[in-house]
Amino acid sequence: MLLARYPRVDGQIGTAYGDTDNFARLLPMLDKGYLRLTSMFDGKERLISPRSVPHYPLIITVTDTMSALLGIWDGQVRVFAGGLVLLELVLAAIVVLGWRHLRGHEALDAAEAELAVAAVREHGAQALQVQSMRFNTALNNMLQGLLMFDRDGPAAGGQPPDAHHVRRTGRRAVLGMAYGEMTDRFVEAGQVSAADMQGVRERRAELIVRNERAVTTWELDSGRTFNVTHQPMDGGWLATFEEISDRREAESRMVYLATTIC
């Protein structure tokens, strides 16, 4: 039975949901991790974290919509991809016009056409550089860490989950870096123990072989906790890291206060 919800849903408080499909799927994940469901209240796809209250037959769930979690990154990728497609079309049109011009004029005209093509390409390169800078700015200001790797392992782009590490090594150093080398640097920096990182590598290898999406919780020896999403892509895979240390601490305080008050 629903006892409370924020934001409040009028008419739903006091309603029993024990025989619904969503509740049946939620119970096996209780205190174990996260699951992705379509909400019974607003019909939106949400990422749900169910937790039980010790000593009481109560369940607390914390949710957020998938569009909110991925909206910022998805929008920037679409803008970047659209700019690349437009630039390619412009360059293709200029090359075709230049080729026709070379066939119908003398060498001097051909040289002028080449200069014009070079100027347009320079302009296009500048436009691409500006677009790339905007994309990098958006990426560097993301709250979550994000890494993209190709099929063979080198990083195709992204931002590691630790902002200090980014400032110390530079985000451009991530490009082309192998996954093993990147994880070794985290161990060398003292942010993750070697044993913990070995376990992460083994789990990542299993997910790559199975080629399936997964969401896990990564707890470091330092006490920091991350939500880690592994998403297969065509020709590689994507990993996002969201630090939930404060959230986990808040959950612990809620449990402590509930136990103390009762």
- The mean of the pLDDT values for the chain is 78
Structural domain that includes position 230: 145-249
pLDDT of residue 155: 57
Residue 261 pLDDT greater than 70, yes or no: no
Residue 211 in domain: yes
Q: Is 167 domain-assigned?
A: yes
Given this model, what pLDDT does residue 169 score?
42
Q: Which residue did the predictor score with more confidence, 229 or 173?
A: 229
> Is residue 101, in this structure, part of any structural domain at all?
yes
What mean pLDDT is predicted for residues 103-111? 67
Among 151-155, 241-245, 249-253, the range of highest mean pLDDT: 241-245
Compute the chain's Rg from CA coordinates: 25
What pLDDT was estimated at residue 183?
A: 80
Same domain, 196 and 152: yes
The count of structural domains within the chain is: 3
Q: Tokens 């993750």 correspond to what residue?
A: 192
Q: Which residue has the tokens 């402590």?
A: 256
Question: Last residue of some domain: 114, 140, 166?
Answer: 140
Domain check: are 163 and 215 in the same one? yes
- Model pLDDT, residue 233: 83
List residues bridging with 171 in a β-sheet: none
**Is 45 in the same domain as 83?**
no
Q: Which of 67, 86, 121 is the last residue of a domain?
A: 67
The amino acid sitting at 240 is T
Within this chain, do residues 218 and 129 fall inside the same structural domain, yes or no? no
In a domain, 257, yes or no: no
d(CA 203, CA 190): 21
Q: Using 50, 70 and 90 to split pLDDT, how confident is the model at 49?
A: very high
For residue 26, the domain's CATH number is 3.30.450.20
Highest mean pLDDT out of 62-66, 96-100, 161-165, 235-239: 62-66
Query: How many other CB atoms sit within 10 Å of the CB of residue 125?
Result: 12
Asked whether residue 15 is domain-assigned, the answer is no
